[in-house]
Amino acid sequence: TYTTDTKSREENKKTIENLYRFSVDIKKIRRLKEWVLLQDAAYVKEIADILQEMGADETTIASILERCPEAILHTPAEINSQRTLWQLVCQNEKQLIKLIEQFPESFFTTEYHENQKANILFFQELGLKNNIITRFLTSAPNIFYNPVEKNKNVIETLQKNYLSLGGSDANMKIWILKLLSQNPFILLNTPTAIQENLEFLQKNYFTDHEVLQLLSKLKGFIFQLTPTTMQKSMLFSKNVFKCSDQELKHLVLKCPALLYYSVPVLEERLEGLLKEGISVAQIRETPMVLELTTQIVQYRIKKLSASGYDIKSGTLESLNGTKKDFEVNYGKIQSKKERPIFNPVAPINIED
């Protein structure tokens, strides 16, 4: 947003002096964003004073300005407006300064101030809690750059589809809020793209109830796909597992990753499993194993093998799940292995 073509191409000495005063590492700025030091106007002291007012100490101020030096190119009025805006969703200034320290770029993007404000108020009206909105501001700031009407249209499209797929009025608000909380990037899609993806699933024999199920299981990430990529992934799975359309549909419902991951990703994971001696039939029985990266699969197989568990002849269920799930399964296998082969308190049969 700032020009890097300056008349003199010389560093602004006053800016350098002021940054030194706040113990900022100038070398770091020169290495990463030298253009900031070439600008004629900078507000180092003013911005540092505002941060200090909010409770930042010298170390915090230096850290913020090193990571986001363009902060000093904003006027104090712009930063105070941003401060007031973020206070709408922050509990106090202590929380606010902590967020600025962690995500300075999000806070110091002031070009979309009016859109940010309108979107914050819209999300509050929608029923999103302030702690969720602050998470959006820091981890998905670009959804606030959209005009509020664009975000409203996407939400309305989701609501309309939820009802047409058989969702109830009573549950709609909870469903929308949950979907947004899990994946705010849904809002970067267009209503048309959302519609096309849902129609693609319906054309591929998924019932309305099953489409809703997939939306929830995929946490809305389905909207970041296209009918073409989904078609390719489904065709790949159909060929690998040699199954009918109906069988494929059941596999996808069991493991939505078959729809979500691209063909190269599925190919790589499948090859990794086959190299470990696992058969296609075993994978078809437990397709969720394709949700795991090849590295995770290799690590888990190695650990299970060391305990005497033969993954080639057993079920793949023991490989599945989160790290916690796996450790629980592994613990069960370990305890079976360590159990005595006879019951010491059972009566002994002695033949006369």
Task: State which of 167, 188, 216 marks the end of a domain.
Answer: 216
* Non-local CB neighbours of 237 within 8 Å, separated by 6+ positions: 243, 248, 251, 252, 258, 266
* Non-local CB neighbours of 259 within 8 Å, separated by 6+ positions: 214, 218, 222, 225, 230, 233, 234, 252
The answer to whether residue 123 is domain-embedded is yes
Task: State which of 110, 134, 166 marks the end of a domain.
Answer: 110
Give me the pLDDT at residue 313, please: 75
Report which residue type is found at 239.
N
Is the same domain home to 25 and 103? yes
Is the same domain home to 166 and 180? yes
Is the same domain home to 56 and 93? yes
Is the same domain home to 40 and 115? no
Is the same domain home to 102 and 18? yes
The answer to whether residue 342 is domain-embedded is no
Is the same domain home to 147 and 95? no
User: What is the per-residue pLDDT across 41-80, written as a single tens digit (0 to 9) for each?
Assistant: 999 999 999 999 999 999 999 999 999 999 999 999 999 9
Is the same domain home to 104 and 144? no
Per-residue pLDDT of the chain (352 residues), as tens digits, is 454 454 457 899 999 999 999 999 999 999 989 999 999 999 999 999 999 999 999 999 999 999 999 999 999 999 999 999 999 999 999 999 999 999 999 999 999 999 999 999 999 999 999 999 999 999 999 999 999 999 999 999 999 999 999 999 999 999 999 999 999 999 999 999 999 999 999 998 899 999 998 988 888 888 888 999 999 999 999 999 999 999 999 999 999 989 999 999 999 999 999 998 899 999 999 999 999 999 999 898 888 888 888 887 777 888 888 888 888 878 887 777 665 554 555 454 544 3
The answer to whether residue 311 is domain-embedded is no
Give the residue numbers spanning the domain of 148: 111-216
The answer to whether residue 97 is domain-embedded is yes
Number of domains comprising the chain:
2
A 10 A CB-CB count for 304 gives 20
What 3-state DSSP class applies to 166? coil
Give me the pLDDT at residue 220, please: 80
Is the same domain home to 106 and 117? no
The answer to whether residue 346 is domain-embedded is no
Is the same domain home to 97 and 118? no
The answer to whether residue 240 is domain-embedded is no
Give me the pLDDT at residue 247, please: 93
pTM for this entry: 0.80
Task: State which of 152, 182, 216 marks the end of a domain.
Answer: 216
3-state helix, strand, coil in the chain (%, to 5): 70, 0, 30
What is the maximum span of the chain, computed from C-alpha positions, in angstroms?
A: 109
Is the same domain home to 195 and 175? yes
Is the same domain home to 174 and 138? yes
Query: Are the C-beta atoms of residues 137 and 144 closer than 8 Å to each other?
Result: yes
Distance from C-alpha of 235 to C-alpha of 229, rounded to nearest angstrom: 10
The answer to whether residue 32 is domain-embedded is yes
The answer to whether residue 212 is domain-embedded is yes
Number of H helices and E strands in the chain, helices first, is: 20, 0
Name the token pair of 172. 């709609």
Is the same domain home to 120 and 159? yes
* C-alpha separations of 5 from 34, 35, 70 in Å: 12, 8, 15
